[in-house]
Amino acid sequence: MSSDRSTPDQPLPPEVVGAGHGWFTRYRRYPVFSAGWVRGRLRVFALMALAAGMVAILPLLDEQPGDIPWGGLLNLTAQVWLPLLLGPWLCLQIRRQQWAPAREWRALVAAVALVVVGMLVFHQWLSEPIKQFVAEQTGQVDEQGRRKRVMLMAGVSIVRPDEPQGTAEQAWTPPPGTNPGLPPTVRLVNGLSSALMSFWLGGGIALWGWRRERAALAALAQARELARAQAQRREAEMRLSVLAAQVEPHFLFNTLAGVRSAIATDPPRASEMIDRLVDYLRAAIPRLRTDGGAQATLGGQLEIVRAYLGLMAARMPRLSFAIDAPTELLAEPCPPLMLISLAENAVKHGAEPKIGPVQVTLTARRSAGGGLDLTVADDGAGFGSQATGTGLGLANIRDRLQQIYQGRAELTLKAGAAGGVVATLHLPPEPAA
């Protein structure tokens, strides 16, 4: 079931229906044409119909039983209660099928149309015969089979045969089969009135409520999905901030151990290592404290990588590096600490195991789709034990990419043409603010 579809018989979210529904509108808390909606609507409309019926019946209490137009009352009751019961019931059966919205909409419209057409047929061809049959059974016809006409107003008005001659003759219907009936204009107006009443009682107005409900549920699902994605991203950034606040102890220990060893054998190199360590800490620490969010930029991340590779080159003179990034890309958003993780991988798994000179190259390019392609390549020892590309650091990067970009970004690894490994971050374009 898609996310924008409501669960039958369960109340709708308050964001869709609002709050403060009293007894009269309580049924609107449920999906349109659901069981709760049908039951609640029936209670409300039943009270309205009973109130209207009382207004119509009260004037008849003073009449003799033989003068009460039972056929007319039965006909009026049928025209109210048949669409009121049949239309919502048909629509409820359709909703229980849980069809796709487009198919469900067509079926609901067809069900309401069926009720309207059925009531038009009833009004046109069955209403008069029913009234005539009831009148005959209750003895409310004259010798020619004519029954009394009634006029529904605020109550029921009965024209008696003992009134003046002209009025009395008009007060009786023609014998069955001897007159086509009411004038065409009156028949048309009566038919339209019956159709409109059947459309309303049968749930026709609720069709617009169904469409509004679908649109509101779709918008709510989209808003909730966006909120969920934002929450996941904030959680990922918070976790990253906690991790980023901790400088790797073994990295510092190894660097300081190298400085201590170089002091005795190569003081100038020891001094350079200290300078590079200061450069790295100066570049990294402020961003470790602030780049836990979306404000991290490519330029800021490249500064950390440059300081790190400079420090590694001071510790390992056979290591060289190059960074190639167009100036116009430096302000682009970039997830924090991913590039430095790839650079560390290149040094640890590519440069350190290799005997002889090794180079690490970082490039940044605009992708064809408007995003960024960030590549860290080395010509070191190659995949080796990392052939599957499933190391802990790489798995962490992929997990963070999924949390931040929801499948729109990826990390790819491949063997370099001159040996080593080429790791590329494919980042999507950032949405416009």
How far apart are the C-alpha atoms of 215 and 213, rounded to whole Å?
5
**Structure confidence at residue 3 (pLDDT):** 44
Amino acid at 212: R
Q: Which helix (H) or strand (E) holds 378?
A: strand 372-378
Q: Containing domain of residue 202, as a range?
A: 14-224
Q: What is the pLDDT of residue 90?
A: 96
In a domain, 299, yes or no: yes
At 51-65, the pLDDT tens digits run 877 876 776 666 666
| Number of domains into which the chain is organized | 2
Position 23 in a domain: yes
Whether 205 and 254 share a structural domain: no
**What is the C-alpha separation between 303 and 334, in angstroms, rounded?**
13
SS3 of 333, please?
A: strand
Of the residues 192, 224, 256, which one is the last residue of a structural domain?
224
This prediction's pTM: 0.55
Strand partners, 333: 297
**264 plus 197 within the same structural domain:** no
Low pLDDT (below 70) residues in the chain: 1-8, 56, 59-67, 148-182, 233, 236-251, 253, 284-295, 384-392, 431-433
What are the residue ranges of helices labelled H in 177-295?
A: 184-201, 206-244, 249-265, 267-290
What is the helix (H) or strand (E) element at residue 415, kind and residue range? strand 410-415
* Residue 377, H or E segment: strand 372-378
* Same-domain check for residues 171 and 285: no
- Residue 150: count of CB within 10 angstroms of its CB: 20
220 and 249 inside one domain:
no
Q: What is the rounded (10 degree) CA torsion for 246, 249, 253, 256?
A: 0
18/120 same-domain check = yes
Q: What is the CATH number of the domain that holds 269?
A: 3.30.565.10
Asked if residue 7 belongs to a domain, the reply is no
DSSP run (H or E) holding 410: strand 410-415
Considering the domain architecture, whether residues 206 and 294 belong to the same structural domain is answered as: no
273 and 415 share one domain: yes
Residue 292 is predicted with a pLDDT of 46
Asked if residue 169 and residue 199 are part of one domain, the reply reads: yes
Q: What pLDDT is recorded for position 83?
A: 95
SS3 content of the chain, % helix, strand, coil (to 5): 60, 10, 30
Tokens of 254: 């190894």
